Structure 1
Amino acid sequence: MSSSTGIAGSSLMTIANTDSLLTEINVDEADIAHIRVGQAVAVFAAAFPEVALAAEVESIPLSPRSNNALGQSGGSLARSYTVTVRLHDPKQLALRPGMTCRAEIFTDSAEKALAVPVQAVFSSNEAETEIAAGKKPPPEERFLFVDAQGKAARRVVTVGLSDDSYQEIRSGLKAGERVVVGPYKILRHLKDGDALSVALPAGQKKS
């Protein structure tokens, strides 16, 4: 190449092959035990935040890396694992090497599951109860409230899988029952038998 200088054996340039793209995501050590090679992943590039790109876990490192920033500030070292993910169809979007992204790894799935909004499910550990000195607290229960003819009815439920939006209910609730949802600061004080009022979306009239 004319008008160029270089040292024998050194790289002149690097050409990226965009037919096959990998991305690296940091997984906290508390979650790494649930990650397996081949699991499905949804990747959201920062440049296209509304588009989910299909991918899968390519490799999982044996050793974590430490976040020294926390250690220098006096806190304990935070450890994470850099998991490599391969995109199935990188040409779906105009992706460029070096772009940042976030990812959702699907560690498990359930078909035809009964699910409710996560904010509808409570833990008995969250309840404001007084435990006598020396007495063990009761076993943890997960519960929600359903609309029983205009009154709140407390239901103990068995939960399963969950994500950021929904919680699977494996027992204690039937399909078609109306589940009570609302602001946590209000629901945390709700009691069995309390009267309920329905808040309709803006512009919608009660039939």
Structure 2
Amino acid sequence: MLQSLKAWIITICTAVFFITAVEMILPNNSLKKYAKFVLGLILITVFINPIIKLFDKNFDINTYTNNAAQCIESNNGKFNDDFNKYKEKSINSTLEAFKLNLQDSCEKKLKEKYPDSSYKVQVDASYDKEKEKVEIKDINVGIKEGTVEKIKKVKIATNSKVVNNQDSVNDEKSLNITTYLSNELNVSKDIIKVHKL
């Protein structure tokens, strides 16, 4: 009994010495109050540990902390899966919002710069996980001049080829639009395609 009491007092003195040394090293900022709280919990644990052993001879704080750590690690895999699903969903929704906002922004800018036509912009973008940024792959700009839309080709026979109705535009206006959007969005001219609607 006397040996246990001696070991307990030595443990308390060591803990108090350690806590005092840590408090002296800590800078005077908002972190200090949290550190004092944690150090206080350590001191309480040191005080309570022998008292609990009086009532429960098999009590060992290390066993309880190991069990708690194993429980956290076993749930960590599920947490990581849930976190990754949430992250993927968040990236996808952010990417869709980015595409829609960029399309609207391009249409407004083109209408302000070239008010004689109407524009329909489609943006294709992806998220690069390594660089952790959104990259624009394609910007398709449809130009509608006048009030009448071009008639779309209809497929009648089952063995006929499907023809793409997007006639690319290679005139001066197309080049101006490509240059304008390239400068405004800071992207390569190669990813901007202009066609008639």
**TM class by smaller structure:** under 0.3
Report which of the two has the higher share of helix: 2
Q: Which has the higher contact order (CA 8 A, sep 6+)?
A: 1
User: In terms of Rg, which structure is larger?
Assistant: 2
Q: TM-score, normalised by structure 2?
A: 0.21
